[in-house]
Chains A and B, each alone.
Chain A
Amino acid sequence: MIIEIRTKEKYAKNEEAGFIGRMAHAGLKVKAARLSRLYRVEAPFSRAEFGRLGADLLTDKITEHYSLSQWRPGLKKAWRVEVWLKDSVTDVVGESVKGAIADMLGKEPETVRFGHAYYVACESEVKLRHAVARTLVNETVNKFRIGKI
Chain B
Amino acid sequence: MKDKLANFNSLPKKELEALDRAAGWSLNLTELSEVQRQFRKMGRQPARGELETIAQTWSEHCKHKTFSGPVIFRAGAKVKRYKNLFKETIVKATRSLNRKWCLSVFTDNAGIVEFGKTGKWGLAFKAETHNHPCAVEPYGGAETGVGGVIRDILGVGLGAKPVLNTDTFCFGRLDTKKRLPKNALAPGRVMRGVVEGVRDYGNRIGIPTAAGGLYFDDGYLLNPLVYVGCAGLIPVDKIGKRVIPGDLIVSIGGRTGRDGIHGATFSSANIDEETTASAVQIGHAVNEKKALDVLMRARDLGLYNAVTDCGAGGFSSAIGELGSETGARVRLDKALLKDTRIEPWEIWVSESQERMILSVPKAKLRRLAAILDAENCEYCVLGEFPGDGRLLVTHGEERIVDLPMAFLHGGVPNFEKPAEARKVKISCKPPAAPKGGYAKVLADLLAHPNVCSRHSVITQYDHEVQGGTVGKPLQGRYGDGPGDAAVIWPQAATLDLKDFSGFAVAHGFAPAVGRIDPYQMALHSIDEAVRNLLCSGADISRTAILDNFCAASPRDPRVMGDLVLAAEGCYDGAMAYGAPFISGKDSFYNQSRDADGKEYPIPISLLISATAPVEDVRRSVTMNFKEPGNPVFLAGVSLRGMGGAVYGEIIACANNAVAPLDMKAAVKLYSAIARAMRSGCVVAAHDVSQGGLAVTLAEMAFSGGLGAELDLTGASREDGLTPVELLFGESPARLVLEVDKSRETEFLRLVKGLPVAEIGRVNEEPELSVHDGGEALFSSDIGALKASWKKELI
Contacts and interface: CB of A to CB of B under 8 A. Distances in A.
Contacts of B138: 138
Given A90-B257, A134-B189, A135-B188, A140 B284 contact: no
Nearest to B185: A138
A138 B284 contact: no
A141 B257 contact: no
B16 interface: no
A134 B276 contact: no
Nearest to B284: A92
Contact of B286 (A25, A86, A96): A96
Q: Dominant SS at the B interface?
A: loop
A110 B282 CA distance: 20
B676 interface: no
Given A90-B257, A92-B282, A92-B284, A140 B186 contact: no
B186 A134 contact: yes
Interface residues of B, number: 22
B712 to A, nearest CB: 40
Interface string B137-156: 11110000000000000000
B50 interface: no
Contacts of B285: 92
Which bucket holds chain A's interface residue count?
10 to 19
B189 A141 contact: no
Interface in A72-127: 86, 88-92, 95-96
Contact of B136 (A86, A89, A134, A140): A140
A57 B784 CA distance: 47
Nearest to A89: B282
Contact of B193 (A86, A92, A138): A138
Contacts of A88: 258
B729 interface: no
Contact of A138 (B137, B188, B257): B137
Interface in B137-190: 137-140, 185-186, 188-189
Contact of B189 (A91, A96, A135): A135
A92 B193 CA distance: 15
B261 to A, nearest CB: 12
B131 to A, nearest CB: 16
Given A135-B188, A138-B189, A89 B286 contact: no
B140 A141 contact: yes
Contacts of B258: 88
Given A138-B185, A138-B189, A90 B284 contact: yes
A93 B779 CA distance: 52
Contacts of A96: 286
A53 B58 CA distance: 50
B283 A92 contact: yes
B172 to A, nearest CB: 14
Given A90-B284, A140-B136, A141-B137, A25 B277 contact: no
A26 B185 CA distance: 12
B137 A140 contact: yes
A132 B188 CA distance: 13
B280 interface: yes
Given A90-B259, A134-B186, A134-B189, A140 B282 contact: no
Nearest to B260: A90
Contacts of B188: 25, 135
27 contacts: A25-B188, A26-B186, A88-B258, A89-B140, A90-B257, A90-B259, A90-B282, A90-B284, A90-B338, A91-B282, A92-B282, A92-B283, A92-B284, A92-B285, A92-B286, A96-B286, A134-B186, A135-B186, A135-B188, A135-B189, A138-B185, A140-B136, A140-B137, A140-B276, A140-B280, A141-B277, A141-B280
Interface of A: 25-26, 86, 88-92, 95-96, 134-135, 138, 140-141
